[in-house]
A and B are shown apart, each in its own frame.
Chain A
Amino acid sequence: MSVIEMNHLTKQYGKSRGIKNINLSVEEGEIFGFIGPNGAGKSTAIRTLLGLIYPTSGSAAIFGRNCTEHPEIRKELGYLPSEVFYYDNMKVIDLLKYSASFYKKDCTKRIRELAEIMDLDLKKKIDDLSFGNKKKVGIVQGLLHEPKLIILDEPTSGLDPLMQQKFFDLLREENRKGATVFFSSHILSEVQKMCSRVAFIKEGEIIKLEKMSTLQENNYKRINIEGVSTISKEAFDISGVSRLEVNGTAASFIFKGNINTIMQRLSETELRNISIEEPDLEEIFMHYYVKED
């Protein structure tokens, strides 16, 4: 059974924002990444899926049921919104208990465990917490009832690297216990580390849906080189290279494919300097667009 299903899901807001005709299904036990730049429609898609906003057309369901018609299906859902705001006058523990009270099971033990893992002080007022700590409250709030589906909207923003690591370990653990995880991000590397499949969204449309293994085979590298003498454009105009820019003795491009191919080609050129790095997401998106045109 598909845990998440979106069929021709469309949500229009005003003129430009929103999502267009999204089709997506996520199977039980997957860790699914939803990736795109800010404003691409990630939050809109998630909110429409969960029935927090209503679609203009199309349909969405979790565990085979529409959230608006069957709000009780959200018992199995743990959700972390992208921006966390909580009832200000509450202490962390009060908020977590309030959140737990919606699920009709005793979550006290799990709250303690999660707070310990995330290093969260339960006695503080939410008002007094930093952004990162509020995010932790959001994470604990989303996981405390051991949901079968965990949906997180930009979960790592505001967390320091150590916390991000702990958080991802936590998600892996939940996934190992059987939970399906769906999270959005604009950082490719964290999706790469975690996910089994990934969907790229831009301007409200899914432009690519790929298995992580495929993506990893198609390792994207941004390569900048500086040659001893002038570099000819033809030398690097091979399959897998895109966005090639040659400027005298310097050149830069994105390479996708077998690393050895490009290494051989590089070794034929006498270099003064080289850097090989992970391209950022925007560049990969640009890459897709170039290919589609």
Chain B
Amino acid sequence: MNMFWRELTAGRKALIIWSICMLLLVVSGMGKYTAYSSGGAGSDIFNQMPSSVKALLGIGTLDVTVMSGFYAMLFLYIELTAAIHAVLLGSSIIAKEEKEKTAEFLIAKPVSRSAIVTSKLLAALAQIVVLNLVTLISSILMVSAYNEGKDISGEIILFLISMFIVQLLFLTLGALLAAGISNPKSSGAAAAGILVGSFVISKITDLSDQLAVLKVLSPFKYFSYNRIVEGDGLNAFILLLSVLLAAGMAASAYFWYGKRELKL
């Protein structure tokens, strides 16, 4: 538990900053809703846009003039932010002992490397939960402040559950990279690179249905926004697969951190 608390204390400041950024993103994003929903000329513009432009803007086939569609569009950026946080957190929390040369201090203590990974992953998990809750609460509050139509709190909760899974995937991916790559300085870059790659893939798959098979490479595409907006909820099978994938990556992180020669 001592290592868990130590990680939480060490990550406190960064978590506060991320939370504030997320809050500002939700607040400023929702502030634009009136421009989208004012109707008339506004909605005509969206109707006339070519579908590829809509896809790139994150609108796709969503109806952004109603709150649920608008939130789904904004959610793309929320989710991207949370994913960046998760992947960087996952890689840095594992790699920092080597980067800051404290690994020798830590691994000479009477703890196994698995116990170290467990504490770190739990501390990171707690942090992504906090960021998720900050997003959830600020979204519900901001949406209800602007929403004049039907209440979408249920949809927001589903969105945030899907975001949690995406956070989990990127967190374990970051941890796996940091555990496996022997140069502690390059794991963060590798993690961020993969994240950008998967985001680009998610945009490409929006452009053409023929590329749908690529969706498997991008956690951003695991949960369909349209499905949530239309009230069909989350696909339980994909949910299960995603959790298994995250568990698999976490297990590999344990394996590599235990096996690899740490940089002392």
> Which A positions have Cβ atoms within 8 angstroms of B?
47, 50-54, 71-75, 77, 79, 81, 83, 85-89, 98-99, 101-103, 141
Contacts and interface: CB of A to CB of B under 8 A. Distances in A.
A71 B105 contact: no
Interface residues on B, range: 10 to 19
A79 B110 contact: no
A52 B109 contact: no
Contact of B2 (A53, A73, A77, A102): A102
Interface stretch (B52-60, B96-104, B170-178, B180-188): B96-104
Contacts, number: 54
A79 B108 CA distance: 7
A181 B6 CA distance: 30
22 contacts: A47-B104, A50-B108, A52-B264, A53-B261, A71-B113, A72-B110, A73-B110, A77-B110, A81-B104, A81-B105, A81-B108, A81-B264, A85-B100, A85-B101, A85-B102, A86-B105, A87-B10, A87-B100, A88-B100, A98-B2, A101-B2, A102-B110
Nearest to B116: A71
A72 B10 CA distance: 25
Given A87-B10, A101-B2, A52 B104 contact: yes
* A contact face: mostly helix, strand, loop, or mixed: loop
Of the listed residues A52, A54, A88, A89, the one surrounded by the most CB atoms of chain B closer than 10 A to its CB is: A52
Nearest to B106: A102
Given A47-B264, A87-B10, A52 B107 contact: yes
B110 A74 contact: yes
A80 to B, nearest CB: 9
Nearest to B97: A87
Nearest to A138: B105
Interface in B107-146: 107-113, 115
B101 A83 contact: yes
B262 interface: yes
A72 B264 CA distance: 20
A70 B198 CA distance: 41
A99 B113 CA distance: 16
A77 to B, nearest CB: 7
A74 B102 CA distance: 17
